[in-house]
Amino acid sequence: MRQLKTVGIIALIALPAVGFAAPETPTPIFDDIDDIVRIINTLLNWVFTIFFIVAAIAIVIAAYTYLTAGGSEEKITKAKKQLTYAIVAIAIALLAVSFKPLITTLLGSPSAAPGAPPAKLPPGKWI
């Protein structure tokens, strides 16, 4: 019991020292909204790349199932469905990837070009 009290007293004495170790002002993780957008775009590019790799593997698995069906109508039907689902998934993913450039082109966004400065609204003009 005496050891527990000693440890408690030492902890209470040392606790303010831990508080003084913290920096005075925390540094921001992001400087502006462009950093967040850049990180989200990079993350989405990785997700799409991984998705297309998985879709290609699904096509290979469907082809393997079709080739090893051995005349079994059930396996052939299963392979055709797998191939159809993989192709539909790739088509949907391609449409999803193409929406952002399509919309920015149709709306004529000045920041649509790579490296262009972000568009700023004049004072008093709100969307």
Domain that includes residue 50, residue range: 34-106
Q: Is residue 94 part of a domain?
A: yes
Matching residue, tokens 């052939």: 76
How far apart (Å, rounded) are the C-alpha atoms in residues 112 and 104?
A: 6
Q: Is residue 19 part of a domain?
A: no
- pLDDT tens readout for residues 75-109: 999 999 999 999 998 998 888 888 877 776 776 65
- pLDDT tens readout for residues 14-28: 666 666 665 666 666
Q: How many domains does the chain have?
A: 1
Q: Is residue 60 part of a domain?
A: yes
CB 85 within 8 A of CB 61: no
C-alpha dist (Å) from residue 102 to 97, 99, 107, 121: 9, 5, 9, 22
Q: Is residue 112 part of a domain?
A: no
What is the reported pTM? 0.56
